[in-house]
Amino acid sequence: MNVQIDDLLLKVEKPARYLGNEMNSAHKDLKDGMVRFAFAFPDTYEIGMSHLGMQILYHLLNEQEDIFCERVFSPNEDMESLLRENERSLFALETKAPLKVFDFIGFTLQYELSYTNILNILDMGEIPLLQKDRGEGDPFVILGGPCSYNPEPIADFADIIVLGEGEEVILEIVNLYKEMKKNKKWKRKGFLKEASKIEGVYIPSHFAVDYHMDGTVKEIRLIEEHMGSKFLKKRIIEDLDEAYYPDKILVPYIDTVHNRVVLEIFRGCIRGCRFCQAGMIYRPVRERSLEKLKRMAHDLLQNTGYEEISLASLSSGDYTEIEALINHLIEINQQDHIGVSLPSLRLDNFSKEMIEEIQKVRKTGLTFAPEAGTQRLRDVINKNITEKDLLTSAKEAFEMGYNNIKLYFMIGLPTETDEDILGIKDLVYKVLNQYHGIPKEKRAGGLKITVSTSTFVPKAFTPFQWEEQISLQEIHRRQTLLKESLAHRSINYNYHDGKTSIVEGAFARGDRRLSKVLHRAFRLGCKFDGWGDRFNFQKWMEAFHLEDLPLKFYNNRIRNYDEILPWEHFEIGVDKSYLIKENEKAKSEEVTADCRLNCSGCGVNQNFTTKRGVC
C-alpha cells in the first residue's frame, strides 16, 4: 500500500512523536558514500528524548560530514497498528526513510525490560531479528549502554556490542566501515572480524558458550583464535574536558520526561554501594573542570532556551567544586529565572546553604535515598549514611519551607529481615516528627512524605552478583507488611510490581540461552514490558516454560565464587577479588570508606589511566 506517512500522522494521538524537524535537529543532503546511522531508543519519544547518551551521540555523528545520524523510537500502539495495517516499515524521523536502508541501527540498553521493544523495532523495520539470518544488504545492529555489561540474554540479536563509553568507539567503528566500503573490501564477516580488533568492541557471533549438566556455564570460548581476544576490555574516556559534548541539544515540540538542559559534571562514583552496578562499571571517577562546565552551560542554555539546568552524575554533591558551580550558575542566570536542579543528592553532603542558593530562582523537589530502614542493613550495603544524616537533612528542609519530600528504599536486600522492613516505617515516622517539631509559623502547610520501594535485583559486576533474589511471594509479603505499617494521612506509599522485578532479575544475570526466551516472549506479544499496564507476566512465564528454562535457576539461588558467570569474559577494571572481598564484608556488616578518604584497592586505577581523576 502506498500510504504516505503524513496521512498516518493525522490519525495518531501525538503526531509530534514522529515529525522530526525539531530545533537543533540535523538536516543533510544524502550523498554517495555517506554512512547512514539510525539511533534507536527502545521506548517512546518522550522517554528517549530525555536520554543524555542519545543527545551526545546524535550530535557527535552528525558533526561528521559523511555520516548522517537519524532517530527512531518505539512507536506507540496507535502508530504501530497503522503502520502494520498499511504495510509500512518503521521509519527514522529525519528523512522518514525505512530502517532497512540504513547501514547501522544502534540501540542503547538502558533497562532489561526494554529488550522486547528492540525486537519490535527490528521487526517493524523489516530487519531479520537474529544476527545469523542477516545478509550482506542488511544493517548492522549495534548495542551499547549499561546493560551491555551483561548482554548475553540479547546476544543472538546483535552484530556488535560496545562495552563501555561510546563517544570514541562509535566513530572508530563507522570509520572502519567507510574505509572498507571505499576500498571495496566490504564483506559482512570481514568487517566484523576487523571491528573486533577495536578496544571495547564485542562480536557475540565470535564466541560460543558451553554448559554443565546443572545449567551453569562450563566455558566461554572463541570459535576461532583469529577472531580477536578472549577477554574484552571496556572502553573509557580518559579526559572528560577533552571528550565530545554537544553545545546544543534537540528541543522537542512536546513535553518529555526531562524538559531541561542536562550538564554532565563527572562520571563514576566514589561511594561503593554494594548493590549499585553504575557505581562499579563507570569507575574510575573523572571530573570536568569548573571552567569547562561554565562554558558548556552557557552554550547549552543559549542554544536551547530552556529554563532549567540539571547537574547530571551519580552523586552531584560529590563534585569537588559543586558549590562554586552552583553559585556561578545562579548568579549568571538568576535574572532570566533559570533554575538549577540536583537530581542525585546524598544525605551526607546535603548543604542547607547550597539548597538556599538554588531556591533563589525556583524551589525544586527534594528526594533522598536512605535505601534501607536500619543502620545494620545500610552497613551491609555500604550506604555510608546514618539516621542522623536523614533527620538533620529533613529538619533543615522543613525549616526552609519544604513540605514535600520523597524517600526511596529497597526491599529484598541481602540479609534483610522483617525488623529491617519495619525499620523503614520507624525512620519515616521520625522524619514526620521532625516536621511537627518545628514551630508552626515556620512550617509550610500540608506535609506530604512519599515513600517508594523497589525490589533489589542483583546485577553483574557488583559485590552482590552472587546473591539470590527473593521470590515473588516474598516480595508481596514484604510490601504488604510495610504498607500496613505506613497508614498515615501524610504518608503515601508506592511500590514497584514484583513481577517485573522477577523478569528483570533473570535477564540481569542471564546467559545466552535467554535469547530464546526473549524471542518467544516477543512472538507471544510482549513489548513495553517496563510499563505496568502493558507488562504481561503470564506470557513471560509461558515463554520460560516453552523454552524449558526454569526462572528459579536465574533468580533464586546463590552462586559460588568459582562459578563461571555469563559475563566472565569482560574486563571492567574492577577486580573480581575486590568484589568478593566486598561481598564478604557485607556478610560481616563491615563498611568500606569512599575512595577519596581511603583507596579500597578495587583495581581500576591499575587497569586504567585517566586525567582529572579523583580516586
Domain identity same for 228 and 268: no
Angstrom distances, CA of residue 345 to CA of 16, 313, 349, 396, 492 = 34, 10, 7, 14, 21
Domain of 17: which CATH number? 3.40.50.280
Phi, psi at residue 534, to the nearest 5°?
-115, -15
238, 311, 237, 284: which is closest to 52 by C-alpha? 311
Q: How confident is the model at residue 365 (pLDDT cuts 50, 70, 90)?
A: low
- What confidence score (pLDDT) does residue 139 get? 98
Residue corresponding to grid cell 511500590 = 495
Q: How confident is the model at residue 386 (pLDDT cuts 50, 70, 90)?
A: very high
Least confident of 275-284, 325-334, 358-367, 491-500: 358-367
Residues 502-542 have pLDDT tens digits of: 999 999 999 999 999 999 999 999 999 999 899 999 999 99
Strand partners, 40: 72, 107
Per-residue pLDDT averaged across 319-342, rounded?
88
Identify the burial level of 609 via C-beta atoms within 10 angstroms of its C-beta, where 0-12 means exposed, 13-18 middle and 19 or more buried. exposed
CA gap 121, 118 in Å, rounded:
5
Domain identity same for 415 and 562: yes
612 in a domain, yes or no?
no
CA gap 155, 513 in Å, rounded:
9
CA gap 158, 142 in Å, rounded:
6
What does the DSSP 8-state code read for residue 560?
Answer: P
Who contacts 325 (Cβ-Cβ below 8 Å, separation ≥6)? 265, 290, 293, 294, 311, 319
Count CB atoms within 10 A of the CB of residue 96.
15
Q: Which residue has the higher pLDDT, 570 or 397?
A: 570
Q: Which residue has the higher pLDDT, 338 or 357?
A: 338
Number of domains composing the chain: 2
82 in a domain, yes or no?
yes
Residues 213-264 have pLDDT tens digits of: 999 999 999 998 766 678 899 999 999 999 999 999 999 999 998 899 999 9
Per-residue pLDDT averaged across 186-192, rounded?
91
Domain identity same for 422 and 291: yes
> Would you list the DSSP string of 433-451?
HHHHTS-GGGSPSS-EEEE
Q: How confident is the model at residue 1 (pLDDT cuts 50, 70, 90)?
A: very low
Domain identity same for 293 and 392: yes
Domain identity same for 334 and 468: yes
Cβ(148)–Cβ(72) below 8 Å: no
Run of H or E including 404: strand 404-411
- What confidence score (pLDDT) does residue 601 get? 87
Q: How confident is the model at residue 170 (pLDDT cuts 50, 70, 90)?
A: very high
Three-state secondary-structure class, residue 369: strand
Residues 97-135 have pLDDT tens digits of: 999 999 999 999 999 999 999 999 999 999 999 999 999
Domain identity same for 214 and 310: no
148 in a domain, yes or no?
yes
Domain identity same for 440 and 556: yes
611 in a domain, yes or no?
no
463 in a domain, yes or no?
yes
CA gap 142, 487 in Å, rounded:
48
Domain identity same for 556 and 601: yes
14 in a domain, yes or no?
yes
Domain of 414: which CATH number? 3.80.30.20
Residues 9-32 have pLDDT tens digits of: 999 999 999 999 999 999 999 998
Phi, psi at residue 104, to the nearest 5°?
-135, 145
Range of the domain at 47: 5-233
Domain identity same for 207 and 291: no
291: its cell numbers: 571552567
Count CB atoms within 10 A of the CB of residue 40.
29
Helix locations, 10-99, DSSP H? 45-48, 52-62, 77-85
Whether cis (ω within 30° of 0) applies to the bond prior to 284 is yes
Domain identity same for 56 and 181: yes
Domain identity same for 443 and 577: yes
394 in a domain, yes or no?
yes
Q: Which residue has the higher pLDDT, 605 or 83?
A: 83
Q: Is the pLDDT of residue 209 over 60?
A: yes
Q: Give the largest CA-CA distance in the chain.
A: 78
Per-residue pLDDT averaged across 55-78, rounded?
97
518 in a domain, yes or no?
no
Q: Is the pLDDT of residue 459 over 90?
A: yes
Residue-averaged pLDDT of the chain: 93
Last residue of a domain, one of 233, 248, 271: 233
Last residue of a domain, one of 218, 233, 248: 233
Cβ(458)–Cβ(505) below 8 Å: yes
Cβ(550)–Cβ(457) below 8 Å: no
Last residue of a domain, one of 191, 213, 233: 233
Q: Is the pLDDT of residue 308 over 70?
A: yes
Domain identity same for 229 and 334: no
